[in-house]
């Protein structure tokens, strides 16, 4: 009879601990989301244009593609 009581007490403490951690993590997520909204409201990112942001990835992508093609060529040459 006492073993069942100890198992139940252990289960109770486990649920209490896991519930506490779960609630803390939920609270932390909400606080961080609120903090993000506040920071973006009072400190917006400066200098972002839609035209310049669209042009930069294509230029960067061309460099990346060139690097990948060069690496594949070098690897095939070493076979």
pTM: 0.50
Give residue 43's region: left, alpha or beta (phi > 0; psi -120 to 50): beta
pLDDT reading at 41 higher than 60: yes
CA angle, 25 as apex, 19 and 27 as ends, to 5°? 100
The predicted-structure confidence for 2-27, as pLDDT tens digits, reads as follows: 778 888 999 999 999 999 999 999 99
Taking the C-alpha atoms of residue 25 and residue 8, their distance in angstroms, rounded to an integer, is: 26
DSSP annotation of 78: T
With tokens 């961080």, the residue in question is: 32
Question: pLDDT value at position 48?
Answer: 61
């Amino acid at each position: 009879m006492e073993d069942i009581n100890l198992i139940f007490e252990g289960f109770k403490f486990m649920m209490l601990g896991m519930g506490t951690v779960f609630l803390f993590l939920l609270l932390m997520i909400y606080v961080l989301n609120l903090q993000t909204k506040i920071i973006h409201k009072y400190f917006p990112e400066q200098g972002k244009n839609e035209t310049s942001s669209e042009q930069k990835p294509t230029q960067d992508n061309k460099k990346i593609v060139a690097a990948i093609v060069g690496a594949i060529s070098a690897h095939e040459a070493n076979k």
